[in-house]
Structure 1
């Protein structure tokens, strides 16, 4: 029998202060989200009186009813879902495909390509050249402006390339002995064992696509092609404009809904989907990279 050594007083004090500090950080991080949530579920007119800190004082779903009754918001939400799904699939596949080529140590000019790509991570042409390029490519007021300009990321390529270089050579060699070419090796060998990095890049780019509002502001004038975050930006920036009138026009709840309550409800609607998606991808972050894929 081995007796456990008793903890010293200093260790107890350190652990206590450490736990209290972490609780404080969690509270400071989560309370603003909770504050938005409870005010979104509170009656709009009552919320204007203030004093709501922990629970809704007058619970109401009218704010969300006004949000979902607005066809503009629903159109923006549908477009955001479409561009997020399509953008993630295209970005992950294209970047992984290029990264697989870069991961080959026998790639001619590979070091030069990596140097040129690294330069693009540090320097960029700026907003005006980017706008002129998008205009000349005829992608203004075009859905593909959300997909093609961000189809490739050199930063994500480095993550993919590092991962691919750690895949045992025995996997590819076995596939090539069976007659597989580069495409078959990439699609049926490399990608299936790369789920952790695929899920990570998919989450990163999915969050970017979902939260991107700047593209809709700069390159899109058609309101039917503006994503939900651009719509939310317009709501926040023009809280007293016709957007608020449109959001509640013709509704029986105009007396209990305010511009501020519409803002908060819209923020909740636009944030929750990406929050719910995270737990389904998190499990891939902690998986071993090559568990069971090759026997030693």
Structure 2
């Protein structure tokens, strides 16, 4: 039996200080979220009096009723869900397809392609050339503007490629002996055994798609195609939230709803869905982040 090493006084002090610092960081990170949630469930007029920090003083759902009464929010939510689902599927498949080709050591010119792709990690064309390109591709006021420009990422390709190169060559060779071509190997062998990395990239891109509001501001003028984050941006930008207040005007809700409470409730509505999805992908995400870091 090995005797437990006695900790020195300096190690104990370091652990205490380290834990206190981490607790402060966690508090500073989580409290703003809690504050928004508390005030979103509180009576709007009562919240204007101040003093609400830890728990709602007058609990109400009128703020959320006002949010969902807005004629555009449900359509914006549907656009966001659609672009997230379609965008993740297209991005994962297209990036995995290119990564599989570049992971093949017998690919002619593979190193040159990787070098060219690496340059794009540090340089891009800029906002104006990108806008002109999307305009010439007829992507303005087009749902595909959420999908095509981001269907490929060289950073995600590196993660895919690292994982694919760790798959035993015997699987590939056995499949080719059985008559499988590259498409069959990718779809029936490589992708099914790559769930950790697929979940990781899906989570990366899914969070991006859900939180992206800039694309809707730059490329979308049709309000019927704006995502929920762009909708939220415009709500917050409007000091009086006229659109939502008009939706509930004349009802009993106007006595308890304010523009500030509507903004906070909208933030909660737009944030919670992606927060609920994360725990289901966390175990794949943690494993996927370790890809390529440990050999053996």
| TM-score of the pair, normalised by structure 1 | 0.94
Is the Cα–Cα contact under 8 Å of residues 66 and 251 in structure 1 kept in the other structure?
Answer: no
SS of equivalent residue, structure 1 residue 121? coil
Structure 1 residue 66: Cα displacement = 0.6
Describe how 1:154-165 pairs up with structure 2 within 5 A.
Answer: 154-165=154-165
- Aligned residue for 1:189, secondary structure, equals helix
Q: Does 1:87 align with 2:80?
A: no
Structure 2 partner of 1:121:
121
Across the aligned residues of Structure 1 and Structure 2, the Cα RMSD in angstroms comes to: 1.7
Counterparts of 1:49 and 1:121 in 2: how far apart (Å)? Answer: 49
Task: Specify the alignment match of 2:48 in structure 1.
Answer: 48
Distance 1:5 1:102 in 2: 49
1:79–1:225 Cα contact (<8 Å) kept: yes
Structure 1 unpaired stretches of 5+: 290-295
Q: Does 1:97 align with 2:97?
A: yes
Aligned-pair CA distance for 1:250? 4.7
Return the alpha-carbon distance in structure 2 between the equivalents of residues 73 and 288 of structure 1.
34
What residue is the counterpart of 2:292 in the other structure?
A: none
The answer to which of 238-247 and 161-170 deviates more is 238-247
Over 3 Å counting, the alpha-carbon distance change for 1:108 and 1:61 in structure 2 is: same
Tell me the residue number matched to 2:293: none
Bigger drift between 8-17 and 264-273 goes to 8-17
1:184-206 superposed Cα distances (whole Å, 9 cap, x missing partner):
11011111111111001000000
Aligned pairs for 1:134-213 within 5 A: 134-213=134-213
Aligned residues: 290
1:249 positional shift:
3.2
Matched, 1:223 2:223: yes
Matches within 5 A, 1:253-292: 253-287=253-287
Give the TM-score normalised by structure 2.
0.94
Q: Contact 1:96/1:160 (CA < 8 Å) preserved in 2?
A: yes
How far apart, CA to CA, are the structure 2 residues paired with 1:266 and 1:286? Answer: 30
SS in 2 for 1:122: coil
Change (3 A) 1:113 1:5: closer
Structure 2 unaligned blocks of 5 or more: 290-295
Partner of 2:33: 33
Q: How far 1:280 sits from its partner (Å)?
A: 0.5
Indicate if the aligned counterparts of 2:69 and 2:244 stay in contact, CA closer than 8 A.
Answer: no
Deviates more, 1:35-44 or 1:236-245: 236-245
Question: 1:159 and 1:124, CA in 2 relative to 1: closer, same or farther beyond 3 A?
Answer: same
After TM superposition, give the deviation of residue 287 of structure 1 in Å. 4.1
Q: Work out the CA distance in 2 between the residues paired with 1:112 and 1:288.
A: 27
Q: How many angstroms does 1:288 deviate by?
A: 8.3
CA distance in 2, matches of 1:120, 1:286: 27
